[in-house]
Amino acid sequence: MATMTAAQRRAEAKAEYDTYLSTCKSRRLLDRLSDKWVTLVLCALAEDDMRYSELARKIAGVSQKMLTQTLRTLERDGLVIRRVTPSVPVQVEYAITQLGQSLVEVVYELKRWAEGHMDDVETAQGRYDRRNASRG
């Protein structure tokens, strides 16, 4: 298939790049944090250990599919611990690990930046939108 050379080149470059991204620690961390619910769960558990249903109530907008999925990956990452008490209706409690706690500190950094600067961002957005209102 000599006609596909160009496309193949691009595909290869893409594959290389994907490999790079998947081995990039920062990238992998951001992928985690961007999982819409991860930070919410982490911050909730940073305050106190919680049971599944407590988390579901506390976070309030999450579907149980997403909550379960989030908790699984967090457990797999060693960021939270899952403790099962084999009582009659089983009782599951989630707690944050040391590793998770150290990550929450960084998340708080983010939060601080957000509290301090998102107003500026909003202002900038308003300016931008007004400037581009004339030119549709």
Residues forming contacts to its own copies in the complex (CB under 8 A) are 13-14, 17-18, 20-21, 25-26, 28-31, 33-34, 39, 60-61, 75-79, 99, 102-103, 106, 109-111, 113-115, 117-118, 120-121, 123-125, 127-129
Residue 90 interacts with, from its own copies, DNA, none (CB under 5-8 Å by kind): DNA
**In angstroms, what is the minimal distance from the CB of 88 to its own copies?**
23
**Which residues on neighbouring strands pair with residue 96, listed in sequence order?**
80
Q: Does 107 bind DNA (CB under 7 A)?
A: no
3-class secondary structure per residue, 31-82:
HHHHCCCHHHHHHHHHHCCEEHHHHHHHHCCCCHHHHHHHHHHHHHCCCEEE
Residue 65 interacts with, from DNA, its own copies, none (CB under 5-8 Å by kind): DNA
Handedness of CA 12, 17, 22, 28 (dihedral sign): negative
Nearer to its own copies by Cβ, of 68 and 123: the residue is 123
Structure-token pair, residue 134 = 């004339």
Characterize 74-101 residue by residue with b for buried, 16 or more Cβ atoms within 10 angstroms of its Cβ, and e for exposed: beebebbeeeeeeeeeeeebbebbeebe
Q: Does 91 bind DNA (CB under 7 A)?
A: yes
Position among 40, 41, 45, 62 found at the interface with DNA (CB under 7 A):
62
Please give the residue ranges that form the binding site for DNA (CB under 7 A). 7, 10-11, 14, 35-36, 51-54, 61-66, 68, 71-72, 82, 89-93
